[in-house]
Amino acid sequence: RGKGDIVEKRKGKGKLLVESALDSKDESLVDGSVSDVELLAQEVNLSDEKPSKKNNRRTSQGRMERFRDTARQNASRFAHFNTQEEDDNILSMEAESEIPSEELEEKGVEDWPGPFSTAMKIIRDRAANLNVRQGSSSSDKVQSLQIKWVPQKCKRKDWSKRLPPSLLDLSLRVLVDNADAIASLAHVPDALRHKLCHMLCDSRRMNSNFFDLLLNGSPTEIRLKDCSWLTEEQFTQCFEKCDTTNLTILQLDFCGHCFADYNLPSTLARSPNSLPALTTLSLTGAYRLSDAGLSALVSSAPALRSVNLSQCSFLTHSAIDILATSLASVLLELFIDDCQSIDAMLVLPSLKKLEHLEVLSVAGLESVTDSFIKEFLIARGDGIKELILMDCWKLTDSSLKIIAETCSNLRALDIGNISKLTDTSFGYLASGCRSLQSLKLCHNAFSDDAIAAFLEMSGEVLKELALNNVGKVGLNTALSLARRSRNLVSLDLSWCRNLTDEAMGLIVDSCLSLRVLKLFGCSQITDVFLYGHSNAKVEIIGLKLSPFLEHIKTPAQGPFQYSSV
């Protein structure tokens, strides 16, 4: 009987071993490891004969070796290492070290008493109650919500056709096709000059002959969004004979091939105050412009109000110090996107000197952190009206909290592609930034409920909203857009594939001010919506091979967006 008891106990141990192994592993990995567990159980289930001490020791050692071999074989299936996750963990630890301890104790906005948390609770309770009535699980929330929208049956497909071009557009196309035959641009208004330049750059027909006509006489505006075709010799020859006394706007984007420090003394920076009327300067992509060259330009243009130095890779923090020293009391707009040689913390003292700065763009600067945002906005946040922080991937919710607390006059915010932001950010924005007219949230992981709750509170003021590639956007957002965003003019829902024809139809028919709707990547949208909505003024871009090149938005280097000179 004693032997039987020992055998039963050993059998019981093997049984417990199998059960514990099955309970501890994920179901997706159990199938691959069951055979190994059964093998271990069989080894524990020894014969009923009583072994000797020597044999027992040998059996135990052999069994332990087999355990080790089995563990080594299975280790590769259970071990995973992701360098991106490791970097994110390190960065999150750094961000936590930057934030005071009392801020870290604050949890999600949903736990706070206030309008945003109330809106979140109403939206989630509505979905939960609907799921209960329909007998569906919470995971089926998107499918269980229903939108009542009836497409128009009498609408003709002719409505979807493009309107015929105006006489002005036809005339401009003829001029573009025959640009080499144009003899003079005298008495041509700046607006028409700008349109001609825009169309010529798009069609790659801009050349030195037309450029010389632009600079002939004493021009007031020169706007070229693409100067990649222009050589150093052509640039120097055209500007040497140009009278720049009345020049107010100079846009020479992507001019790196022709623009260098050594040709400035003979062209633009001939002497101090040689550009007395210049207020707007855009030199995007001037990759050969150095701090010394910028210093010469600034000394020649003491009235600058807007400066765009995006993608000027040679510029350092000294360039911003030059701007702050010379233009501290007059500069309104500064764009330093993707200037990778500029360290955000090193330019912070200079940015604090800009007393009237309204627009700041630091998109793509990897050195922008929560500490930078906090220190700058505490000093100058009350005057900021537009912030562009796209691709500043180190930022967290604490930056949005500072923005909401200090930027009460903020009109436009771009926080696209910042993966560390959570739904908590919407609570901050909804309570602090009540004047937001433009909001871009592209490539983020915000929830459908949070976006809907924000729109319930702030949707009436919005005129532009970009939700491009926000994958969780669903029917709650659609309902809130239809209810609260009646003044919306531009809406980007590209790659939001949870939205149905009914949801799109409700949005377009309810938002009567809507003029542009972008739906790139929305393959789920059908003709039911395209030919069934009733908003004849909206232009839908991105479906059915619709033309879109003319709708690509380029930075407008013209009159200031928020202030006059």
Instruction: Walk along the chain (565 residues) and give the pLDDT tens digit of each residue.
Output: 444 444 444 444 443 333 443 344 444 433 444 344 344 344 434 344 444 545 555 666 777 777 777 777 766 555 554 544 445 444 445 444 444 434 433 444 445 557 788 888 888 777 677 655 555 544 444 445 678 898 887 555 554 456 788 999 999 999 999 999 999 999 999 999 999 999 999 999 999 999 999 999 899 999 999 999 999 999 999 999 899 999 999 999 999 999 999 999 999 999 899 999 999 999 999 999 999 999 999 999 999 999 999 999 999 999 999 999 999 999 999 999 999 999 999 999 999 999 999 999 999 999 999 999 999 999 999 999 999 999 999 999 999 999 999 999 999 999 999 999 999 999 999 988 989 999 999 999 999 999 999 999 999 999 999 999 999 999 999 999 999 999 999 999 999 999 999 999 999 999 999 999 999 999 999 989 988 999 989 999 988 755 555 555 555 555 566 765 4
Decide if 210 is inside a domain: yes
Decide if 315 is inside a domain: yes
What pTM, to 2 d.p., does this model score?
0.77
Q: What is the CATH number of the domain that holds 353?
A: 3.80.10.10
| DSSP class per residue in 86-138 | HHHHHHHHHHHHHS-HHHHT---GGGS-SHHHHHHHHHHHHHHHHHHHHT--G
Final residue belonging to a domain, choices 357, 380, 415 = 357
Determine the Cα–Cα distance for residues 115 and 110; give it in Å rounded to an integer. Answer: 10
Q: Look at the block and give the residue holding tokens 């010394």.
A: 292
pLDDT at residue 284 in the model = 96
Decide if 278 is inside a domain: yes
Decide if 338 is inside a domain: yes
Determine the Cα–Cα distance for residues 190 and 404; give it in Å rounded to an integer. Answer: 39
Final residue belonging to a domain, choices 75, 101, 124 = 75
Check: CB of residue 470 under 8 Å from CB of residue 496. yes
Q: Residue 229: which domain range?
A: 191-357
Final residue belonging to a domain, choices 312, 340, 357 = 357
pLDDT at residue 141 in the model = 44
Decide if 68 is inside a domain: yes
Claim to verify: residue 215 and residue 339 sit in the same structural domain:
yes
Claim to verify: residue 57 and residue 204 sit in the same structural domain:
no
Decide if 125 is inside a domain: no
Task: Please count the structural domains in the chain.
Answer: 2
Decide if 450 is inside a domain: no
Decide if 285 is inside a domain: yes
